[in-house]
Amino acid sequence: MIIANEMNMLRYGESLAVASEPGAIIFLKGELGAGKTTLARGFLRGLGFEGRVKSPTYALVESYELKSGSVFHFDLYRIQSPRELDDMGIQDYFLSSSILLIEWPERGEGFLPSPDVICELAIFDNSRDVKSVAHSLRGERMMERF
């Protein structure tokens, strides 16, 4: 899907959130500036979060407590080794009631659970090309609702 501007990326994220369910693991892949954090911001707004959504680039993870449950937004861009995820206790975030949004998941290979959905974002002229693909039964249910 070609997304022409930031507002449409926010709407895309909101729609994905509405289709999501507790325990969902969503990988966000794409180069710097592709819109991964904007999609995450829309996702959180779709779940009713009204506060500021900042990139977790330096903190590695931002936590959001919502009426519907917890959302953990990871940005693994800065990690040097997947082993760092084990050192930070990443398994503590893998709760069946939480939703995980993970930017740069390839940097955590071997320490991350399998995703339900992978969203791949690519810069296309002044737009973004976004492809969301299910990778589990939960992901298939989400994509049917999306």
How far apart CA 23 and CA 81 sit, in angstroms, is: 25
Mean pLDDT of 37-62: 87
Stated length of the chain: 146
Cα distance between residue 135 and residue 138, in whole Å = 8
Distance of alpha carbon 30 from alpha carbon 120, whole angstroms: 6
Chain centroid to CA 29? 9
pLDDT digits (tens, 9 = 90+) for 85-139: 888 888 888 888 899 999 999 999 888 999 999 999 999 888 999 999 999 999 9
Tokens representing 53 are 């959504």
Residue 57 has pLDDT above 80, yes or no: no
Q: Provide the pLDDT for residue 47.
A: 95
Beta strand ranges found along the chain (DSSP E): 2-3, 25-30, 61-66, 69-75, 99-103, 117-124, 127-134
Res 58: pLDDT: 65
pTM: 0.93
- Kindly indicate the confidence band of residue 60, based on its pLDDT and cuts at 50, 70 and 90: confident
Residue 115 CA to residue 112 CA, distance in Å, equals 8
Q: Are 53 and 81 in contact (CB under 8 A)?
A: no
Q: What is the mean pLDDT of residues 16-25?
A: 95
